[in-house]
Structure formats: C-alpha cells, structure tokens
Amino acid sequence: MHQPSSDSPIGVFDSGVGGLSVLLELRRELPHENFIYLADTGNAPYGERGDEFVKQRTLAIAQHLQNEHQIKALVVACNTATTAAVEELRKAFPELPVIGVEPALKPAASSSQTHRVGVIATRGTVKSARFEQLRQAFSEDTEFRVQACDGLVKAIERNVEEPASGGEAAEEIKALCARYLGAMGEFGLRTGDIDTLVLGCTHYVFIKDEIRQLLGPDVHIIDTGAPVARQTRRILDKRNALASEDAASGKEGTVRLYTTGGLPALQAAARRWMNLAPDYCSALPV
C-alpha cells in the first residue's frame, strides 16, 4: 500500500452534511492542507441506527479513504460514529491518526456559572456507554440535562435544498428545537437555570441561529469544531506530518467532497455553507 506523505490529504467523514461544520474549522486552522470529505448520506442518519451498523460503515469508509486517497489522518466528524466506533477504528488502523468528536462536556462544566448544562444530541450518542462515561466524569459539580433530538438531523439535511428564506423543513426545525429545548427546563442566568448548551451533533451548528432565537443572548452555546481542528493540528505537528513548506508557500490546500446519497443535497450544502461550486462534489456508490 502507498504510504501517505505530509502532502497527502486529511480524510473527514460524517453520516451526512453536518460534518461540513467541522471541515470549515479544519480549513480555517489548516489552510494549506488538502481535504477529502465523505458524507455517508445514503445510510443516514447514524443517530437512529444501531451501533453495529455504524461500526461497519465507519470501518468501511476508513478503508475506502485509505485505499482511494491515501489519507494521512482521519477526522470522524460525527458524534454518533465516534461514540460507536472510534476504539475499533484505532485498533483496525493503528498507523492512522484518528481524531473523533465528542460533546464538549468538559469546557461546558468549566464555564457554567449555574452548574446546569444542557446537551442536545442524537439518540445514538446519548444512549452510548462512551457518552455516559463522559457525563459521569464531569458530573461532580454540574448537572447535565440531556435531550435526544429525534428527527432533527433529517430535517437539517432536508432543509439544505430548500430556499434559505425557509420552507417546510425550516419550519420543522423550529418546531423540533422549541419542543426539545422546552423539555429541558428553563434557560438563563438565574440560580437553577441552564446557562450553557452543548451542541452534541455536528449538524446542529448549522441551526445555531434558530437555537439562539429560542434561548436568548445570555446562554453560552458550545460546539466542538474549533477544538477538533486544533487537536488535528497538534497531532499532525507531533508526527511531523503537516503540509510541507513547498505546499505551504501561500498556496491554499485542495478540497473534494463525496456523498453516498443524492449529489444535489451535498452541492447545495457546499454552496450554502462553504461557498464551494458544485464541481467540488462527486457521488459515490453506497
């Protein structure tokens, strides 16, 4: 097998287009790196699938990215895939640096003044043993109100192809956010209020404005994109695997996006959220 070099691409994958929120941060942090993004939309949403299915898909995608693109690192830009499969992934590919995403409970617990933190995520994430371990690790001084948001990822994926001004999926997103956030309790800065909300799914970053409208200006909203990008830089730097000086001489890195689902949805997401033209996107067999 061809060995990756410092100029080889970094692989990034998610069950759909939500991981583009992580890719955005990666490109900001590492502008000279090359990226291959794979959206497994043909099998989404992972959060409502079983762990075994998610493990199988995650390992298959990692193998594909290694075989076809000789990636030098893999960012699992999906909380559900991280919780279900990151350990198996590291065992199966011991030479490949794997960076996962997890709900940012530690920084949320550190910053909360009321010691009440809300977490919204997929059912697959919140029901996992890995998430429960994470929650317990930071529960000594903090109460976590955890809410599984069934249907929200599907609505966000559908909303991508609708006009930005709103359509049926946009209305469904607002209704689901109101229902799930309302079920968690009072948000605010008073004693007993939830003053910090963790976005435990990379898709939710793209509806931060809708969430902010419901919570008001005072609640701290935390996602994981920027910390994951910084961690990716640290890991590559430690391995002397950052893009070479030649590649970094002012030249921006390349990016290619692939999907196992409908190409128009990925093209619409790439245009709306990353300002990328449709020809950056390609379809893959499921």
Q: How many CA atoms lie within 13 A of 17 on its CB side?
A: 27
Contact 225, 24 (CB under 8 A): yes
Spatial neighbors of 102 by CB under 8 A, at least 6 apart, are 79, 82, 83, 130, 131, 134, 224
Contact 162, 185 (CB under 8 A): no
Element (H, E) at 73: strand 73-76
Tokens of 114: 């009321």
Do you find a cis peptide bond into 45, omega within 30 degrees of 0?
Answer: yes
Catalytic pick among 149, 177, 201, 281: 201
- 45 burial via Cβ count (<10 Å: 0-12, 13-18, 19+): buried
Find, among 225, 280, 286, 285, the residue nearest to 257 by Cα: 280
How far is Cα 108 from Cα 24, in angstroms, rounded to an integer?
22
**281 in catalytic set:** no
Spatial neighbors of 227 by CB under 8 A, at least 6 apart, are 104, 107
Tokens of 196: 């910090």
Task: Please report, for residues 101, 185, 187, 193, the alpha-carbon distance to residue 112 in angstroms, rounded to integers and kept in the order given.
Answer: 21, 16, 12, 10
Catalytic pick among 78, 149, 177, 281: 78
**201 in catalytic set:** yes
User: Which residues are known catalytic residues?
Assistant: 78, 201
